[in-house]
Amino acid sequence: MIDIAIVGGGPSGNRAAMHLSREMDVTVFEEHASVGAPVQCAGLISPRAVCERTRDSVRNEIRRFVLHSPGGRELSLHSRDVRGVVIDREAYDRALSEAAEKNGASVRLSCRVSDVKPADDCVKLLLKGEKGREEISARIVVAADGPQSAVRPLVTEKPFDITYRGAQYVVKSDSQEDQVEMWIGRKIAPGFFAWKIPAGEEVRIGLCTCGKTPPMKLLDKLMRSKFGEVKIIRKQAGLIPIGPIGRLSEGRIALLGDAGGQTKPVTGGGIFLGKRAAEILADCLLSFGNTMSALRKYELSYTDQFEREISRAMLIRRILNDLPDKKIDRAVELLSSPDIVEILEDSGDIDYPGSISAAILRKAPRLIQFAPSLLKHLLVH
């Protein structure tokens, strides 16, 4: 019997393994033959989502953001400090996996967990891998198996609020720019936004949507209209689950990362929240042992730390999704006033967009006209 079985060797699962394996017997099960591939990520994270182990995966530092409104208005921000870093996702995940192995974790690749069955004092896992079929038991199962988690229904039946479909093209580049560009609007990326992220020797251009048109089709349209003839070196696609914080544990099973909906509702980023959740989970298990009550403490502590920010960000996401393009143009115009730009440049934070929303609304109360009841809520909460 192992102490902790981690289903999924993405950043969240590997980070939990890295911390837990210092004191516990941990095995990570990953269905792919190598960690970090295939990449389904734009790789833009805040500097706080990088640690000593993952520093070498950083390919660029971002100080400038430009938001293009549907009608062609621009909101340009230039911060003195680095506000985002662009990582090589494969290298990032691999660094965490290697650190976990160094601390004593076993990482079993090409090994799919095909069934998980709670039992009296353990959880049984059915594996399909190079050794054929096997059954093993673990005291605790951490489901870090991504947006399509097959373990999640054992913890909660509640579906995610939104599941975004994303597509991204990687294009060769020799530009040294430190500017991320974003496009918002119903014709470009219904329900989300499109991005251009410089990543050293490459540029990542992509978008997500919750509309009916497939994201690749929207992306092809964007490429034709904004980028013309470029050489695409890789095509990537994936899902982003978004939702308020729900149940994160049941019995001996905990949800972690995308499997637990631990993504940011405004930007869709999941690496920072997956990191913090893995740290909280590891702290609870190391402090209270491999017990069900440690998992309850994880759920309570994560909720306590992130509920306010996630519910504010969810509100902003709902408002953005409801606004017609013309109103977005007007909102971007209001946000471009010098005193708001100053707030965004000084205090903007891609991990906590909700926390400065009240300051912005106080400076530009005319923004409240776009969604009076919801935005007033942001002012008081």
Nearer to ligand FAD, 193 or 272 (CB): 272
Question: Is 274 a residue that touches ligand FAD (CB under 6 A)?
Answer: yes
Site residues for ligand FAD, 5-44, by CB under 6 A, read 7-13, 29-32, 40-44
| Choice between 62 and 360, CB closer to ligand FAD | 62
Half-sphere exposure of 199 (CA within 13 A, CB side): 22
Min separation Cβ 180 and ligand FAD, Å: 10
For residue 302, the surrounding DSSP H or E stretch is helix 292-322
Which residue's CB is nearer to ligand FAD, number 265 or number 269? 269
Phi and psi of 81, rounded to 5°?
-90, 160
Asked if 116 is part of the footprint of ligand FAD (rule: CB under 6 A), the reply reads no
Residue 146 binds ligand FAD (CB under 6 A): yes
Residue type, 90: E
Q: How far is the CB of 365 from ligand FAD (least distance, A)?
A: 32
Do 109 and 71 form a contact (C-beta atoms < 8 A)? no
Q: Within its chain, how far is the Cα of 118 from the centroid?
A: 28
The reply on whether position 367 binds ligand FAD by CB under 6 A is no
Q: What are the structure tokens assigned to 308, written together? A: 């306010």
- State how beta strands 123-129 and 112-118 pair: antiparallel
Instruction: Restricting to residues 150-169, name those near ligand FAD by CB under 6 A.
Output: 150, 166, 168
Kindly state the DSSP code that residue 379 receives in the 8-state scheme. Answer: H
Q: How many residues bind ligand FAD (CB under 6 A)?
A: 38
Among 105, 271, 310, 335, which residue sits at the site for ligand FAD (rule: CB under 6 A)?
271
Q: Does 258 bind ligand FAD (CB under 6 A)?
A: yes
Pick out residues in 172-211 that bind ligand FAD (CB under 6 A): 206
- Which CB, 31 or 345, lies closer to ligand FAD? 31
Kindly give the residue spans of alpha helices, DSSP state H, lying in 192-270.
Answer: 215-222
Minimum gap (Å) between residue 38 Cβ and ligand FAD: 9
Taking the C-alpha atoms of residue 48 and residue 254, their distance in angstroms, rounded to an integer, is: 24
| Contact region with ligand FAD (CB under 6 A), list: 70-78, 99-107, 182-190, 255-263 | 255-263
Tell the smallest beta-carbon distance from residue 12 to ligand FAD (Å).
Answer: 3
- CB within 8 A of 300, min separation 6: which ones? none
With binding defined as CB under 6 A, does residue 84 bind ligand FAD?
Answer: no
Q: Whose Cβ is closer to ligand FAD: residue 150's or residue 286's?
A: 150
By CB under 6 A, is residue 299 in contact with ligand FAD? no
- Taking each helix axis from N to C end, the angle separating 338-347 and 325-335, rounded to the nearest 10 degrees, works out to 80
Is 103:18 a contact under the CB 8 Å cutoff? yes
241 binds ligand FAD (CB under 6 A): no
Residue type, 316: I
Beta-strand relationship, 253-255 and 123-129: unpaired
Q: Does 112 bind ligand FAD (CB under 6 A)?
A: yes
Contacts of residue 208, defined as CB under 8 A and 6 or more positions apart, other chains included, come to: 164, 165, 166, 167, 189, 191, 192, 193, 215, 240, 268
Which residues in this chain contact ligand FAD in the complex, by CB under 6 A?
A: 7-13, 29-32, 40-45, 112-113, 144-146, 150, 166, 168, 206, 238-240, 257-258, 263, 268-272, 274
